[in-house]
Amino acid sequence: MQGSKFLRWLASIFLFTAGGFLLAAPALADYPDRPIKLVVAYPAGGATDVTARAVAQRLSERLKQAVVVENRAGAAGMIGTDYVAKAAPDGYTLMFTAADTHSINPHVYPKITYDARKDFTPIAQVGYLPIALIVSPQLQAKNVAEFIALARKSPGKMSYASFGVGSSGHVAMEMLNIQSKIELLHVPYQGAAPAIAAVMAGQVDAMMVPLVLAVPNDAAGKVRLLGAATPTRFAGAPNAPTFAEQGIPLNSAPWVGIVAPARVPQDIVEKLNRELNAALQDPQVRETLIKNGLDPATSSQPAFRALLEAEYERWGKTITTANIKAN
């Protein structure tokens, strides 16, 4: 009798568990069953926003569900990043972001409100943002080696502009300072336009800018492009030589990718990674990304996680060495 009761109890547990499994399985299989929000922590209309929308459109088609870009700009990208960190980990809030928010800001801002390594789930890499060294046309340097030689002759006398303290361009120039053992004076500006204008006018000597901005200004004779701080030439600017080609293996290209809040179910992560990689293989998406200055790249989720860890340390080392801090 006791054996019979035990068997009935065991059967009820099995049915309950199996029923729960059967109820849970379709929910995962149906993901996504409502629109997905893709947060961009920068203003609408910029290169980051344009590339995010191109990826979102193709991803929408593949998932058969709307992927809606939502701009949450401000505080060097930290407003949008904090919003995503605190969102529900259900796969319906994603973030299209870059090295600035996850590899740079945590080391620059002492009062940052999110943990770049603990509060997010890496989904997939989207690419790299090639950047280049530009100088004033008045500067007597035709290549990177000549620029470094000039800087070594006058420590602390030559200057460089940036989009602001702690921006990727600022940290990239400090990478060059440290690696080449030179000392340049940093002059921060509030945004790209005034900083580039200062280089054009010869008010500052140099600057690291996205390659997509450097090429047209170099072609117009407004600045001189000395080299791209990337391992290989960028398809969108095939005539721009790299630092590596000139014997200086500097890589300062910030990564770009998609993350989600921490603790998103692995099944959803894998599906998003798979569909994002497929979207990035689309020729129209690649063309849009390259046109807007982004070098497309795909990755597995574990590879992207490893990249984020390595980049956190790499950019952080430069920031600590150069003592870059912002309020």
- 275 in the same domain as 236: no
Instruction: Render each residue's pLDDT in the chain as its tens digit; 327 residues.
Output: 444 454 444 444 443 444 443 333 334 568 999 999 999 999 998 889 999 999 999 999 999 999 999 999 999 999 999 999 999 999 999 999 999 999 999 999 999 999 999 999 999 999 999 999 999 999 999 999 999 999 999 999 999 999 999 999 999 999 999 999 999 999 999 988 999 999 999 999 999 999 999 999 999 999 999 999 999 999 999 999 999 999 998 999 999 999 999 999 999 999 999 999 999 999 999 999 999 999 999 999 999 999 999 999 999 999 999 999 997
Q: Rounded distance, CA 197 to CA 278, Å?
A: 39
Domain count of the fold of the chain: 2
Full residue range of the structural domain in which residue 116 is found: 31-128+255-322
- 242 in the same domain as 135: yes
- 156 in the same domain as 292: no
Distance of CA 112 to the CA centre of its chain: 18
- 274 in the same domain as 229: no
CATH for 199:
3.40.190.10
What does pTM read for this prediction? 0.87
